[in-house]
Amino acid sequence: MVAADIWLPKDAKVFVTGNGLDPTGALFVSGRDGNMTALEKLSSVSFMPALSALIKVCSLCNSSTLIEHGDEWYGVGDATEVALTVLAKKANLGA
């Protein structure tokens, strides 16, 4: 399970890229006009308070762990919580 899309107020949608549990990936935001902007080009998700708050809650309010062993990533815990931990790490807001 992975977090792939996030819907935000005011018709913004965030697309999350990456494969499986690997926390490397990118977040792209699509506004009402349909234009997509890579969030890392904007330095962080902090310019979008709703997104930043959502991802922080996803990170803080779960008990999963993400472990790297060699070239593989493993999640310990509920699959949904692991997916949210991966999302938080992709956004550089995870523990």
User: How far is the C-alpha of 48 from the C-alpha of 40, rounded, in Å?
Assistant: 12
75 sits in which H/E element: strand 72-76
Which of the 8 DSSP states describes residue 9?
T
| β-pairing verdict for 5-8 and 27-30 | unpaired
Instruction: List phi, psi (to 5°) of 38.
Output: -75, 130
- Ranges of the chain whose pLDDT falls below 50: 41-43
Residue 20's alpha-carbon distances to 37, 51, 73, 80, in angstroms, are 23, 21, 8, 13
At 37 the pLDDT is 65
At 43 the pLDDT is 45
